């Protein structure tokens, strides 16, 4: 007998002696909730299982019948609605939570054990999902269940003892970054149409994010500066315009003299295109597609991939570089020219300057060659 449960003996369908227990669990609203388990070969095994179950529910003050997936979906939506996370971040969370909904639709929140989560991660890896994706889902689940514990829905966080892929396994693949010469050759390539050359100019020479470029208006450009005040993203198939992702992302970026000339030239050519089709008012946005409409963010990625792939085929560049890594190309050039990390962080809009230091504070091969050349000059 336990203070909160009972253990009894019974005969199963095959006449074998087995043990079972029944235990009262916290309801939190004056409700009585019982859990039953059976099939134990000994009384001791039943008692041990009951102790584990009670320990798991210790500290639970609120009853819920939610499945894990239901709770995760509600949690992501609530964090979005109270402005703890951006709508785009919530959409990213919900896309990963779908893996839980598809694979463990009946798993109740209060029944989740570390082994359940580890089994989910193993299944996802066997289905071909990468370690980065699986670890990202684990990070979401762990945070969500920590909140559930704080709210009295769980007694302990089972994700703390689960086994996701290691951080090393989930680390991003090493980036391919063009050389300075390749970046310049790409922008000068005569197969790039004017509108896309203008876009890639601000990716490489100003370090803009895709959403920042898509949201950039001509009114944000003043002489040699660009004011980043908005970003555009696609959320559930809908184009959404929001403030930048952080206070640091809301920033002013100074353009080089050559970039200023190129931007002004693009403004003239863009206006001429509008006049030819009877749109004398001109464009509101800097980045416009072949139909003279503002570029949707996803289309920018598709067009970059097509242009970069074609540049590889034409031997303009040696290998493919992603659109986002255009920002890294920009930062790499600043580092190579001796720009301090504080300035680089300001230009890129990094919320954490330490991230800039961790990412770009190493010596690349070109910087090392420059350093040893100076060493030779000093000692030989």
In a domain, 379, yes or no: no
In a shared domain, residues 310 and 360: yes
Whether the Cβ atoms of residue 183 and residue 270 lie closer than 8 Å to each other: no
In a shared domain, residues 349 and 316: yes
- Full-prediction pTM beyond 0.75? no
pLDDT tens, position by position, for the chain (380 residues)? 345 689 999 999 999 999 999 987 765 444 556 788 899 999 999 998 888 777 777 777 787 889 999 999 999 999 999 989 988 889 999 999 999 999 999 999 988 999 999 999 999 999 999 999 999 999 999 999 999 999 989 888 999 999 999 998 888 777 788 999 999 999 999 999 999 999 999 999 999 999 999 999 999 999 999 999 999 998 878 888 988 878 888 999 999 999 999 999 999 999 999 999 888 777 899 999 999 999 999 999 999 999 999 999 999 999 999 999 999 999 989 888 888 888 888 999 987 767 776 666 554 555 566 666 666 655 55
Q: Domain of 301: which CATH number?
A: 1.10.443.10
In a shared domain, residues 88 and 209: no
Provide the residue range defining the domain that includes 48.
Answer: 5-57
In a shared domain, residues 368 and 219: yes
Question: C-alpha distances in angstroms, 173 versus 18, 31, 101, 130, 328?
Answer: 53, 51, 28, 11, 14
In a shared domain, residues 147 and 253: no
In a shared domain, residues 153 and 192: no
Helix or strand (DSSP H, E) at 39: strand 33-40
CA distance 307 to 199: 12
Whether the Cβ atoms of residue 344 and residue 360 lie closer than 8 Å to each other: yes
In a shared domain, residues 274 and 198: yes
In a domain, 159, yes or no: yes
On the 0-12 / 13-18 / 19+ scale of CB atoms within 10 A, 311 is buried
Give the residues across from 24 on adjacent strands: 34
**Residue 29 has what pLDDT?**
47
CA distance 314 to 358: 34
In a shared domain, residues 105 and 242: no
**If you count them, how many residues does the chain have?**
380
**Residue 338 has what pLDDT?**
82
In a shared domain, residues 184 and 289: yes
Tally the domains of the chain.
3
**Residue 193 has what pLDDT?**
96
Question: C-alpha distances in angstroms, 310 versus 179, 198, 213, 298, 325?
Answer: 17, 17, 22, 19, 17
In a shared domain, residues 191 and 146: no
In a shared domain, residues 232 and 108: no
Whether the Cβ atoms of residue 152 and residue 62 lie closer than 8 Å to each other: yes
Q: Would you put residue 315 in left (φ > 0), alpha (ψ -120 to 50) or beta?
A: left
In a shared domain, residues 84 and 48: no
């Amino acid at each position: 007998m336990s203070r909160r449960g009972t253990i009894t003996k019974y005969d199963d369908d095959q006449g074998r002696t087995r043990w079972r227990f029944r235990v009262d669990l916290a309801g939190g609203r004056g409700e009585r909730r019982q859990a039953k388990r059976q099939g134990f070969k000994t009384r001791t095994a039943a008692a041990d299982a009951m102790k584990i179950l009670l320990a798991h529910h210790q500290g639970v003050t609120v009853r819920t019948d939610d499945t894990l997936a239901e709770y995760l979906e509600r949690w992501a939506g609530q964090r979005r609605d109270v402005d703890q996370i951006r709508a785009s971040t919530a959409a990213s969370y919900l896309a990963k939570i779908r893996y839980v909904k598809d694979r463990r639709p009946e798993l109740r929140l209060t029944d989740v054990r570390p082994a359940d989560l580890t089994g989910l991660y193993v299944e996802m890896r066997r289905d071909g999902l990468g370690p980065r994706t699986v670890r990202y889902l684990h990070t979401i689940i762990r945070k969500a269940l920590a909140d559930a514990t704080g709210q009295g829905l769980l007694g302990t966080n089972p994700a703390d003892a689960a086994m996701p892929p290691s951080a090393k396994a989930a680390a991003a693949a090493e980036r391919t970054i063009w050389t300075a010469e390749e970046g310049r050759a790409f922008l000068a390539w005569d197969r790039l149409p004017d509108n896309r050359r203008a876009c890639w100019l601000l990716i490489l020479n100003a370090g803009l994010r895709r959403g920042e470029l898509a949201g950039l208006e001509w009114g944000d450009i003043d002489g040699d500066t660009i004011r980043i005040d908005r970003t555009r993203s696609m959320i559930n198939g809908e184009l959404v315009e929001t403030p930048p992702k952080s206070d640091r992302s809301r920033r002013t970026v100074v353009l080089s003299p050559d970039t200023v000339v190129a931007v002004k030239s693009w403004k003239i050519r863009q206006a001429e295109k509008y006049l030819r089709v009877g749109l004398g008012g001109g464009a509101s946005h800097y980045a416009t597609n072949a139909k003279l409409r503002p570029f949707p963010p996803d289309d920018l990625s598709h067009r970059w991939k097509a242009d970069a792939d074609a540049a590889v085929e034409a031997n303009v560049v040696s290998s493919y570089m992603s659109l986002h890594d255009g920002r890294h190309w920009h930062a790499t050039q600043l580092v190579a020219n001796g720009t301090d990390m504080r300035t680089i962080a300001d230009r890129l809009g990094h919320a954490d300057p330490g991230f800039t230091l961790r990412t770009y504070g190493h010596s690349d091969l070109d910087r090392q060659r420059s350093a040893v050349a100076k060493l030779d000059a000093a000692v030989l």
